[in-house]
Structure 1
Amino acid sequence: MDDKTKVDPEQNNEPQKEQQGEPGQEIKPAGKYIRMKPFAFIMMIIVLILATSGVTIFALTFGEEKVVEVRTPTHSEFQKLFNAYDEISKGYYKDIDTNALVNGAVDGMISALGDPYSDYMNKEEATQFNESISSSFQGIGAEIQEKDGHIVVVSPIKNSPAEKAGVKTNDIIKTVDGKSLDGMTASAAVLLIRGEKGSSVTLEIQRGGADKLITMKITRDEIPVETVYATMEKDKIAHIQITSFSDNTYKELLSALDEMEGKGMKGLVIDVRQNPGGLVNSVEDIASLFVKTGEPIVQFEDRNGKKEVVTAKSGRKVKVPVTVLIDGGSASASEILAGALRESANVKLVGEKSFGKGTMQTAANLPDGSNLKITIAKWLTPDGNWIHEKGIQPDYKVNYPSYASLPYLSPDKALKEGSLSDQVKAAEKMLKAVGYNPGKADGLYDASTTVAVEQFQKDHKLKVTGVLKGDTTYALMEELRLKIKKDDPQLKKAMEIVKTEIK
């Protein structure tokens, strides 16, 4: 053994660690000692004591009230941030909120990524986020995201107040109770939109680039996080809707399949319309029910181009013919499922082009209770297609009926004979769609419109006034929603395709 690495037998028998030096300095190995005469050694100690005392006196005399430890930042690029903080701390004309500054700095870094799916949530926002993935929460029930400085609806949750009020995919929420959301993060917007059951919130919404905003007053409610709904349609074709992918979705789907198989299921339509996505492991388990064991479900690609291919697991398999319904509200995990089933199981897609979100995020809880969500990878379909901002085109394109896109009617505004507006025109089209004759849909509330409204009120046991307001307006919009659900040309087409494949 070399003498330089020997352990001194009179010292602790643990090897000495290297001494730490400043960047660029030589680090001297342990075990080397400077030998000097006793007098010289004592004089050096005295000098060190005096020097240390002088530095301390100087710091206490001319420095600030606190002695600050000076150290080199781990990341030198953050020195600018420290300098800015120091300038604000000593020069700003008001007392500062340190937590607000730190949160703002982290939020600014995330915003600088230019990625609408990466987000920083302070402690309050993170608490709201965690509640949203629990069994239920209170609010209006709509999935939103920040896009190009605006808060955009990805999709309303099934049977939620937002869906019943007429909130639609791609609506831009401009204000909440009069407060502008422009430039706000999605997490901050959620704090304004959510609230206690029974309370109301007023949204101003921009739809389809129109200059005129739609005003909606929505009563908040309990939003249960139930994600699977199953019904048996005619010809023993099951219709199973998946509204999001959560921890329990796979188990919910297995139960639904058991129920449908018990009723003699011969075919299946999987419906992920208006499904904004969710947990990746949930959709991987679900896709494995339909894709042959070992076949690819999805690929993940990191920033270095390294790919990880996820393949279908063994176990239970669905053996009846299947189609999948998609639309503009089908995003992320919904698109993973649609891409996997089409490319690895030859399942046909029906409906409209999907949303187009081809990235995956992970969330990390920080020590103070805040949360950092960042995009960590692209995801690709089994054939290697990246659908980000492009979406997935269905094999069979089927549009919703025109009356499904009619604008929201404000229940607070009375429409009556003599009124002339776009709202009247929309109301006339709604009446006609649900089986009443208001005359020509020209935006003029005339005698024919009054008669149609009176008949509608009689049929729905409402006070007969001939005026469209309040409960009458709500009832008309609900009747239209039920008609859209009943007619559903996309579901009918999907069932037609399944029927041809049943042996």
Structure 2
Amino acid sequence: MAKQQQQKLGQPKKRQLFVPIFVGIVAFIAGIGLTLVAGLAMIGHVGFSQNQSRGSLSKITSVYQTIKANYYQPVSSDKLINGAINGMVSSLNDPFSEYLANQDATDLNNTISGSFGGIGTSVKQAGNYVAVDAPVKNTPATKAGLKTDDLIVSIDGKSAKGLTVAKVVAKIRGKIGTKVTLGLRRGSTAFTLTLTRAKIPVKTVTGAIDPTNPTVGNIQITTFSEPTGKELKQTIKSLRQKGAKCFVIDLRGNPGGTLPTALETASMFLKNGQTIMQTQEKAAQPVKYVASKDYDQGFKVKEKTVVLVDGDSASAAEIFASALQQSAHDQVIGTQSYGKGTVQTVSDLGGNSEMKITTAKWLQPDGTWINHKGVTPDQKVKYPDYAYLSTFDTGKTYQLNQSSRAIVAIQKILNALGYTVDQENGVYDQSMQTAVTNFQNDQLKNGVTGLQANGIVDPATGDALVNALTQKISQNDPMYAKAVAVLTQ
């Protein structure tokens, strides 16, 4: 890479971002990842012609002064200034350009660094609530005694029913040292815990040897934040020591991360000089970024590799997948990726405020722009049909002789789990009652508490149905199975 390009990536307080719209089934309470890069000039350095300065910008000043002097109620200067900035950015009609002030700016910076103020657990959707998925050791969550499958029914005294994973994450995440009170339900027991938020480092890379193929290393990258490159190297070294001779790189649900991290990690899998990606700014020729020791510090992965993507793989994840697909000629397996082909630059405006705006396209190694199209897998493999089933209101009770759309959803889930229902017509009949009773008995045998084998879908049974379906989806993974087959054939 040219010296000029390296300097550009190293400028302080200026970063470029790839920020997709993404909500996953499982997300850290500490926060959800973004995609970021080094950036352009400070916003204050953008030039205007004299006519623009005296004309258009004077209108902004005039409106500000008029409101301050004549509006019938006092108006905060900060509110007016923030409103003016938000208005200009909103006029771009670009969902990835925005003005970030105070906590929003802090959250973005925390996401880049890979650590957050939170309680230290992953969470998952469980019917109409969000549940604890896996508390992280030595965090407020484990110290307070949170356990997997604890339902979060309220946050700071307000009901959490109907909230998405993303909304629960946003409410529980916060400033380090502040407190959050959670109302929880464990089986039939309800209780309340108050936890003090702490700095939670988010591990972005995990790996394991495939249980049935000891030469296959399975690596998941959840986001591309600052620690990811180091974590990926450590994971690969560890898996090599355990016998891995080839790797699955799972980028499904990965919303992106920092561009320097995408360049660093992709470079590990490419020969020096091979193209990772290209960027193209306004009225400029594309600039290529190529694999080199400057990115990967000489650490290379020469083992056979397959990459997994889906519709929630975006930005930096797509850069990584494209680089390995086109330059390393590794296979990409899964479904069409998200398709975000733009670069955002973050400018520090001072006063704990920042602005990010789209400043460039990014292109695949061959020059293709994937915006709104995504990366096309070499082998398209879908999730099983039951992975797309609708959920239902688990806070309600459903029983014999009732009928509703929610019961249709329950019938489809029961059939997917192997508990046969005669018809998926929304009528709670005798065959459905028998199927529910059989499900409840099996759950009780497996140690699930809070259920009664009575053939009634109460809230506890509803949550158990959703959890069982989620578990089946994770255990029956045709994309991963195809990747292993490709690696071991």
Fold shared per TM-score above 0.5: yes
- Residues in 1 aligned to 2:419 and 2:434: alpha-carbon distance in whole angstroms: 9
- The answer as to whether partners of 2:116 and 2:173 remain within 8 angstroms in 1 is no
Is the aligned partner of 1:322 residue 2:299? Answer: no
Deviation (angstroms), 1:376: 1.9
- Residues in 1 aligned to 2:432 and 2:473: alpha-carbon distance in whole angstroms: 22
CA pair 349-198 structure 1, distance change in 2 beyond 3 A: farther
Rg bigger for which structure?
1
Aligned with 1:389 (options 348, 356, 372) = 372
CA pair 136-474 structure 1, distance change in 2 beyond 3 A: farther
- The answer as to whether partners of 1:140 and 1:162 remain within 8 angstroms in 2 is no
Is the aligned partner of 1:225 residue 2:205? Answer: no
* Residue equivalent to 1:244: 223
Aligned with 1:99 (options 63, 68, 78) = 78
Deviation (angstroms), 1:86: 2.0
Is the aligned partner of 1:343 residue 2:326? Answer: yes
- Residues in 2 aligned to 1:459 and 1:467: alpha-carbon distance in whole angstroms: 15
* Residue equivalent to 2:239: 260
Q: What amino acid sits opposite 1:91 in the alignment?
A: N
* Residue equivalent to 1:406: 389
User: TM-score scaled to structure 2, two decimals?
Assistant: 0.71
Q: What amino acid sits opposite 1:361 in the alignment?
A: Q
State, as a whole percentage, how many aligned pairs show the same letter: 37
- Residues in 2 aligned to 1:295 and 1:279: alpha-carbon distance in whole angstroms: 20
CA pair 189-99 structure 1, distance change in 2 beyond 3 A: farther
- Residues in 2 aligned to 1:470 and 1:198: alpha-carbon distance in whole angstroms: 23
- Residues in 1 aligned to 2:181 and 2:488: alpha-carbon distance in whole angstroms: 44
- Residues in 2 aligned to 1:468 and 1:188: alpha-carbon distance in whole angstroms: 27
Aligned with 1:135 (options 115, 127, 148) = 115
Deviation (angstroms), 1:361: 1.5
* Residue equivalent to 2:124: 161
Q: Greater strand share, 1 or 2?
A: 2
CA pair 469-342 structure 1, distance change in 2 beyond 3 A: same
Deviation (angstroms), 1:119: 0.9
Aligned with 1:279 (options 237, 240, 258) = 258
Q: Which runs of 5+ in 2 are unaligned?
A: 1-50, 131-154, 160-165, 185-192, 445-450
CA pair 188-320 structure 1, distance change in 2 beyond 3 A: closer
Deviation (angstroms), 1:346: 0.5
Aligned with 2:475 (options 481, 486, 493) = 486
Matches within 5 A, 1:128-207: 128-133=107-112, 134-138=114-118, 159-162=122-125, 199=182
* Residue equivalent to 2:273: 294
CA pair 484-191 structure 1, distance change in 2 beyond 3 A: closer
Deviations 1:161-182 (A, max 9, x none): 3488799xxxxxxxx999xxxx
Deviation (angstroms), 1:76: 4.0
- The answer as to whether partners of 2:127 and 2:392 remain within 8 angstroms in 1 is no
Question: Alignment partner of 2:238: what SS?
Answer: helix
Deviation (angstroms), 1:386: 0.6
Paired residues, what number? Answer: 380
- The answer as to whether partners of 2:111 and 2:225 remain within 8 angstroms in 1 is no
- The answer as to whether partners of 1:138 and 1:197 remain within 8 angstroms in 2 is no
- Residues in 2 aligned to 1:107 and 1:190: alpha-carbon distance in whole angstroms: 25
Deviates further, 77-86 or 125-134: 125-134
User: TM-score scaled to structure 1, two decimals?
Assistant: 0.69
Question: Alignment partner of 1:460: what SS?
Answer: helix
Question: Alignment partner of 1:160: what SS?
Answer: strand
